[in-house]
Amino acid sequence: MAYLLGMVLFASAILISVSLHEAGHMLTAKAFGMKVTKYFVGFGPTLWSFKRGETEYGVKGIPLGGFCKIVGMTPQDDDVEPGDEHRAMWRYPVWKRTIVMSAGSITHFALALVAIWLAAMSMGLPNRDIPNPLPAYVKVVECVLPDGAQRACAPGDPVSPAKQAGLRDDDKILAVNGTPVADYDALVKAVRGLPAGQAATVRYERDGVTGEARLTPASVQRKPLDDPNAPARAVSVVGVVGPSLPPGVPLMVKYGPVDALPATAGYTKELAIGTYESMKRIPQKVPALWTAITGGERDVDTPISVVGATRLGGEAVEHDAWELFVSLFIGLNFFIGVFNLLPLLPLDGGHIAIAWFERVRSWLYARIGRPDPGRVDYLKLMPITYGVILIGGAFTLLTITADVVNPITLFSR
């Protein structure tokens, strides 16, 4: 029940975000005097509407977004009534059109920023002072599952070598068989390089005191560290997981209202970098999505659709992980805001790019004494627009299918 409630809450949050996106377009257009004839939440058949002034407001039957109709977005639009020619959007200065078309994305960014600021005060933001890479502080697991299954230990499962050797949670591993390990990644590589079945010496630090433990690694099937999509192979493990934070170092830090402002700025910067890097990797993740659909393992680093994000929102509520719920809301709003500004039709960024192209071209022609070439003919750009829609639609269908048949899960259910 909590899972379904979480899905409903997250889907509602997305719908509200998209509705506010369209409200941003509408309000800025009205502020400049442009004519807005419709503002609806949802698509499809109209369930309820009313008209105030020259704008019809309402709700439609398919709650998958929303739209507002601004008259005369392009010179080729035929929705301008006699007497409203001066109010057609394409006739307005380029800076006004830029504000109107970017208002949707700005709304998403504003939602993300407010959510980050509130989260900084209520639940905290990730500690930016955590060492990177993390030292080899570890958590000790009770057993080693030979098949690599993600489940709790059961009677009959072999006790982990680390547990048998007396290692404890928050021990810092210093060396394996005399070879120093600088961080947790180095520890994993060192352990996987040990011969299975042969005793090894692990030097560790606990409460400022150095000690040694003798253990015998177990052999299990695991994915290669450098290629998560490759078949599993036999490697050595000792039954520690991590990286664990150094003792006394908090994972999350709460801030006051004023201190939360620079913390929000820092988190937003990291979010922007992460979004950029994620978008760069999208093309190379398409084969992994297809693998997930055709029966392979789902890579947790593959893109997700709104369906996948909603399912994760449900998991977050089910496991009382509200930090994850808020993080998903923030990340999705930021991504939508950036994506909509890409200079491609029919996205908002495509209209902005054309408006500024027209402005720069007119300026250049004036400089060289040639007549203004006028407005861009959107009809000539329709093949490119259809191509973007086709590719975007195919990718959306691919991610939705993967999220239905082989979804990413962050908790054992």
Q: Which residues are catalytic?
A: 22
Strands 125-126 and 55-70: unpaired
Task: Report angle CA 208, 237, 170 to the nearest 5 degrees.
Answer: 25
Number of neighbouring beta carbons within 10 Å of residue 224:
13
**How far is CA 98 from each of CA 28, 67, 105, rounded to the nearest angstrom?**
10, 18, 11
If DSSP codes are grouped into helix, strand and coil, which group holds residue 10? helix
Number of neighbouring beta carbons within 10 Å of residue 302:
23
If DSSP codes are grouped into helix, strand and coil, which group holds residue 174? strand
Nearest Cα residue to 409 out of 298, 243, 282, 279 = 298
Q: Read off the tokens for 250.
A: 């908090």
CA distance 392 to 390: 6
Dihedral sign for Cα atoms in the order 373, 379, 385, 387: negative
Count H helices, E strands: the chain? 9, 12
CA distance 305 to 292: 14
Contact between 57 and 51 under an 8 Å Cβ cutoff? The reply is yes
CA distance 262 to 247: 26
Count the alpha carbons within 13 Å of 247 in the hemisphere toward its beta carbon: 9
How far apart, in Å, do the first and last CA atoms of the chain sit? 13
